[in-house]
Structure 1
Amino acid sequence: MRDYYLAILNGSLLTVAVSLASLMVATLIGLAGAAAKLSGRRWLAWLATAYTTLVRGVPELVMMLLVFYGGAIGLNNLLEVLGNPDGIDLDPFVAGVCTIGFIYGAYMTETFRGAILAIPKGQMEAAWAFGMGRSQTFVRITLPQMVRYALPSFTNNWLVLIKATALVSLIGLHDMTYLAKQSSAAVREPFAFFLFTAALYLVYTSISLWALRRLSARYSLGADKIQL
């Protein structure tokens, strides 16, 4: 039994890796989506709106299977057209990270868009009046305040994202959920192994919640004294 528990514990490291990599993808997509929605260009705003509406309306499990199986088929068909009939196998880690990042990029888009809209426009206009470019304004004015406004929703998205990584077990990635299923099948003790897995998820989400609350408190220092 001890070896099975150790295997699940090692698998939890893969779960953390998938979570962090997916968060990076989701954050980049979310920033791009928020920029598109606030760009003032109709076609960009329409594309971003279509993306967030579609992704948030499709179950995560369905999206995972679509990317893993449908993506592999589409990629191999494209390679065949380009003269490579051998094709490739889609790596489960890459498929899992891309799918989860793509899904939660839609939620991050709304998180960042709402955070940017919460910042008074006068601050950005004042920065432009002082000669700052758009990139300087974003780094010095928008980003620090956006982080403060976005952190509560960002925290919720991150906690849900960690739990959603359990879906990668369905495409063969040996995370802790996959190993818990294999262990329970081997010794017929599903309750013990899945309870251990649930406890590990609880540990990771609790640590994340504590860290993000500390970060939120740090960014909120003196916020009530700011005169708008």
Structure 2
Amino acid sequence: MLHGYGASLAEGALMTLVLALASLGIALALGLLGALAKLSRSRLLRGLAQSYTTTIRAVPDLVLMLLVFFGGQALINEIALRLGHQDYIDINPFAAGVATIGFIFGAYLTETFRGAFMAVPPGQREAAQAFGMGAWRVFSRIVAPQMLRHALPALANNWLVLLKSTAIVSVIGLTDLMHRAGLAAGATREPFLFYGTAALVYLAFTSVSELGFARLSRRLAIGVKGSRL
């Protein structure tokens, strides 16, 4: 049915999933750091975090991807040449894709986590500190579980958008699902078949993700007043 390209598409789908998960890891780390910076007392940190979120959310994802891959590659080679390194340095498309997508969605998750932090009643943190709990124990036992419950709907939405945004990485040569679908479509002259297959794969990924987030939401809602299990 797929003219022998089934295995190739499966490998591309796996590459896409790994890319999305690695990007999510970076986005989560940047989101937490950005949220803490926005909530800090330091005017400098708040300004840097605000500049980060404002700039990233204003520039199209594709522009950032091309800027990081091609512009970053030119910049790295220019610096290397000035330092006496004569060989040309290639940026790995996977690394560039992960870094760019993680950096982009870190800005969105900054706002998600900031709102979730603010939704946790400050009196609970103060009570925990009054009982002698350290900053890490207050965060891990009091703040983080409640913050995750508040952040989960927006986090799920951002994950779904991030997953679909991995399609743009094909423009920099990464052999992901869309890249392999494009090669197969060009070789067989059946674009509807292969791009349709790619669409179904993305639909499967997002459907499974939605089920997983729904189950996690029900689990986090256990014991919360007014929750529906």
- Tell me if TM exceeds 0.5: yes
1:149-197 C-alpha deviation (Å, 9 max, x unpaired): 0100000000000000001100000011011111111010000111110
Q: Distance in 2 between matches of 1:112 and 1:79?
A: 38
CA distance in 2, matches of 1:36, 1:82: 35
**How far is 1:7 from its partner?**
1.1
Give me the whole-angstrom Cα distance separating, in 2, the residues matched to 1:136 and 1:81. Answer: 48
State the secondary structure of the residue aligned to 1:164: helix
Q: In the alignment, does 2:70 pair up with 1:69?
A: yes
Name the counterpart of 2:205: 204
- 1:135 aligned residue: 136
Provide the residue aligned with 2:145 in structure 1.
144
Determine the C-alpha separation between the residues in 1 that align with 2:30 and 2:10: 31
In the aligned structure 2, how far is the partner of 1:2 from the partner of 1:11? 16
- Paired residue for 1:91? 92
1:149 & 1:14 partners in 2: Cα distance? 31
Listed as ranges, the matches of 1:146-225 within 5 Å are: 146-224=147-225
Deviations 1:10-45 (A, max 9, x none): 210000000000000000000110010011111000
Which residue of 1 is the match for residue 18 of structure 2? 17
Moved more, 15-24 or 79-88: 79-88
CA distance in 2, matches of 1:81, 1:29: 31
Distance 1:225 1:187, change over 3 A: closer
Q: Is the 8 A contact 1:5 1:193 kept in 2?
A: no
SS of the aligned residue for 2:225 comes to helix
1:1-12 matches, within 5 Å, as 1-12=2-13
The question of whether the paired residues in 2 share the 8 Å contact of 1:27 and 1:105 is answered with yes
Deviations along 1:80-123, one digit per CA (max 9) or x if unpaired, are 23332324100000000000000000011011111000000001
Query: May I ask how many residue pairs the two structures share in their alignment?
Result: 226
Q: After superposition, where does 1:25-64 map in structure 2 within 5 Å?
A: 25-64=26-65
Partner of 2:117: 116
Runs of 4+ in 1 over 6 A off after TM superposition: none
RMSD, aligned α-carbons: 1.2
- 2:108 paired residue number: 107
Letter in 1 for 2:5: Y
Return the offset for 1:224: 1.1
Structure 2 unmatched ranges of 5 or more: none
Following superposition, the deviation at residue 49 of structure 1 comes to 0.5
When normalised by structure 1's length, the TM-score is 0.96
Report the Cα distance in structure 1 between the residues aligned to 2:109 and 2:135, rounded to whole angstroms.
Answer: 22
Look up the SS of the partner of 1:2 in the other structure. Answer: coil
Once the two structures are TM-superposed, the CA of residue 79 in structure 1 deviates from its matched residue by 2.0
**Identical pairs, percent:** 52
Unaligned runs of 5+ in 1: none
Aligned-partner Cα distance in 1 for 2:196–2:10: 13
Amino acid at match of 1:2: H
